[in-house]
Amino acid sequence: MSVTFRMILSFCMLLSPGLNEASAQMVSNEISSAMSGRIPDEQSTKKISIVIDDFGNRMVGTEAILALPIPLTVAVMPFLRSSKEDAEGAHRRGHEVIIHMPMEPNYGKKEWLGPGALTTDLDDAEIRKRVEAAIANIPHAVGMNNHMGSKVTADRRIMAIVMEVCREHGLFYLDSRTTYKSVIPEVAAAYHVPVLSNKLFLDDRYTQGHIQGQLGLLMQHLQEDQDVIAIGHVGPSGKNVASTLRQWSSEVKNKADFVTASQLISPEERELQILP
């Protein structure tokens, strides 16, 4: 979105009735960043998309992350105590919402998966039912990614059902890449579901030092690539993720644009999606 268009949109929002304080603050932030930033060249500006996983369970760092002054893609787990609240809160602040679908890993405890998870012992009908239920549970969702899932995302039978349902609901899929054996790119292509891929996890270790190091790696990737997606988490690392991202994003905002994940879907993939 161009700065000019964003500003017009912001001013329209200012004029609209019933604007609450939080969105008024967002609007004023948008305007001040639009005023202070350079005019981005849509063709050549590098793009960064930050995705934050594991919302939905009142996890540590939830508020601090939602308050960050950059557009985020917020992945919310279904059927948990703050699933709806977190999805609504993210949407209200202008972030993008996706479903963080719990999927069985090769290693790890079953209780880490949460309710409604996809496991390889379920039959086709039950898989479909669970994906449908998760989509219905998360308001404003425009895409899906996986929570854990090293086993399920390598399973062609299950991922075919997931992609079929995503297609029916017009959702894109972000491959969290928890396994190099992921079948997601090819299965998504077969079902005409736009697919994006995580480049790196920001907080596989929780310290600020590690997160800063990963953000450095992200910028290295951006020298080669036009855009990059990185995933962080609320939870044990949530506060460090929030404070590190806040500082870092103000430093790099003149080198790249922050966008939501869906803004990285190519026009070609969008077109595929609308084919019968």
Interaction with Zn ion in 146-165: which residues (CB under 5 A)?
A: 147
Q: In the complex with Zn ion, which residue's Cβ is closer, 5 or 112?
A: 112
Q: Which residue has the tokens 């899932």?
A: 149
Name the nearest CA neighbour of 113 among 86, 140, 77.
77
Least gap, CB of 147 to Zn ion (angstroms): 3
Q: Which residue is nearest to Zn ion (CB)?
A: 147
* Strand pairing report for 141-148 and 227-233: unpaired
53 interacts with Zn ion by CB under 5 A:
yes
Main-chain phi, psi angles of 133, to 5 degrees = -65, -40
Question: 240: buried, middle or exposed (CB in 10 Å: 19+, 13-18, 0-12)?
Answer: buried
Least gap, CB of 54 to Zn ion (angstroms): 4
104 interacts with Zn ion by CB under 5 A:
no
Interface segment toward Zn ion; rule CB under 5 A; list 19-27, 48-56, 126-134, 189-197:
48-56
CA-based Rg of the chain, rounded to a whole angstrom? 18
54 interacts with Zn ion by CB under 5 A:
yes
CA atoms within 13 A on the CB side of 93: 21
Interface segment toward Zn ion; rule CB under 5 A; list 85-93, 141-149, 199-207, 255-263:
141-149
Least gap, CB of 178 to Zn ion (angstroms): 9
Q: In the complex with Zn ion, which residue's Cβ is closer, 198 or 244?
A: 198
The strand pairing partners of 258, in sequence order, are 48
Least gap, CB of 224 to Zn ion (angstroms): 27
- Asked if 273 and 170 touch (Cβ cutoff 8 Å), the reply is yes
Q: In the complex with Zn ion, which residue's Cβ is closer, 71 or 102?
A: 102
Q: In the complex with Zn ion, which residue's Cβ is closer, 89 or 232?
A: 232
Assigned token pair, 33? 């960043």
Q: In the complex with Zn ion, which residue's Cβ is closer, 54 or 155?
A: 54
**CA 7 to mean position of chain CA atoms:** 24
Q: In the complex with Zn ion, which residue's Cβ is closer, 53 or 104?
A: 53
Count of C-beta atoms within a 10 Å radius of residue 65: 26
Where do contacts with Zn ion occur on this chain (CB under 5 A)?
53-54, 147
